[in-house]
Amino acid sequence: CDQSCYRFYDAGLQTWTDTSSCKGEPFDLSLWPKQGLEGGFGYDWGQEVNLENMLSTVDEDQLVIVAHEIGHGFGLPDFYEDADKPNAQWPSCIMMAGSSMTVTPSDGWMLRRVLEHIKSRYNF
């Protein structure tokens, strides 16, 4: 993808970056499968995932690592340690690595909560 099409919300300027030179459609998230990558990484600009894992699970109903890392793209945190969780009874979710192999209602609740806080940026 042409970098002129990459856009992000600049909180300092309180506006989106300029994509006027983009010949196609602007994007704000991207998926980077990388050979030999251990696990995955999720950022606000996109996700890096292990290519071999992604290809070996591409026909499954849920690509667990890809789904987890995309959660980070939407602003969801990791819940690896008890101290990371909002409370000790926090339910299983894909963002709590190993506790669920699918997106759960808890993940949906967290995503709705994040969107409630940022929806004013997008005029919807």
**Pairing state between β 46-50 and 30-34:** parallel
Quote the pLDDT of residue 42. 82
Predicted confidence band at 3 (pLDDT cuts at 50, 70, 90)?
confident
User: Above 60 in pLDDT, residue 86?
Assistant: yes
**Cβ neighbours of 42 (radius 10 Å):** 24
Residues paired with residue 63 on neighbouring β-strands, in sequence order = none
**Residue type for 57, please?**
T
- Percentage of the chain beyond pLDDT 90 is 29
Indicate whether this model's pTM tops 0.85: no
Residue 49: enclosing H or E segment and its boundaries?
strand 46-50
